Amino acid sequence: MTDLNLLLTVAVLGGTGKEGKGLAYRWARAGYRVLIGSRTEEKAAAAANEITEMLGEGIFVKGMLNLEAAREANIAVLTVPYAAHRDTLESIKAELKGKILVDVTVPLVPPKVATVQMPAAGSAAQEAKQIVGDDVQVCAAFQNIGYDHLLDNSGVECDVLVTGTSKEARAETISLVEAAGLHGWDAGPIENSVVVEGMTSILIGINKKYGSTHAGIKITGVER
């Protein structure tokens, strides 16, 4: 663990779902202080207790309401379904000022989740930026990671493309990606999130067609 890990507090908002819980597990294991947010405190506490039991003593994971988690965190990571995206952001945006918001949301619209369907703003991340305003740096990341391998110690054969409103915010987000045991790439400005988010529907379709559960992407031809 580094001093940075010990000082940094990450809130995983909507962290009781599979993706959020898996990311929270990975960051707690890496030494970060992790807050799991939810609309109900009981669900948040149950998720935090589950991760604590898996990792044992010496970690910091705490469950609380989304608003409280956003208030206490240095960086907030939004992992809610798209149907709850706007309402969640509206309820917490005042607590995000001066912070980085990492949006994991994909605008999936059932039942055609294998069809790319982007919102009027261009992407969920761009929509988030419109909602939270200029006082918040917004990045998009982790959309193409299957949750099934996050809640264990295995490697994940998938890279993470990070888009965002500034180079500095993207660099901070890539640090979180690396701490989770994944490879992150700076994929440019937040406008590029339309491609990354849309790729998720394509991967869902590939999974369905070829009988898999964790299709992903890898960047090749570039030295890290």
User: Does pLDDT of 35 surpass 80?
Assistant: yes
Q: What is the pLDDT of residue 95?
A: 98
Domain presence at residue 97: yes
- Reported as type and span, the H/E element at residue 12 is strand 9-13
Domain presence at residue 54: yes
Pick the closest to residue 111 from 190, 201, 11 (CA basis): 201
Please say whether the beta carbons of 13 and 24 come within 8 A: no
Domain presence at residue 149: yes
pLDDT, one tens digit per residue, over 131-163 is 999 999 999 999 998 777 788 777 788 999 999
The mean pLDDT value of the chain amounts to 93
Domain presence at residue 219: no
Domain presence at residue 217: no
Domain housing 157: 3-210
Rounded CA-CA distance 108/10 in Å is 25
Mean pLDDT confidence for 82-105: 97
User: Does pLDDT of 191 surpass 70?
Assistant: yes
pTM of the prediction? 0.94
Domain presence at residue 38: yes
CATH number of the domain that 41 lies in?
3.40.50.720
Domain presence at residue 110: yes
Domain presence at residue 191: yes
Q: Facing residues of 35 across strands?
A: 11, 62
Domain count, the chain: 1
Mean pLDDT confidence for 1-27: 82
Mean pLDDT confidence for 66-95: 97
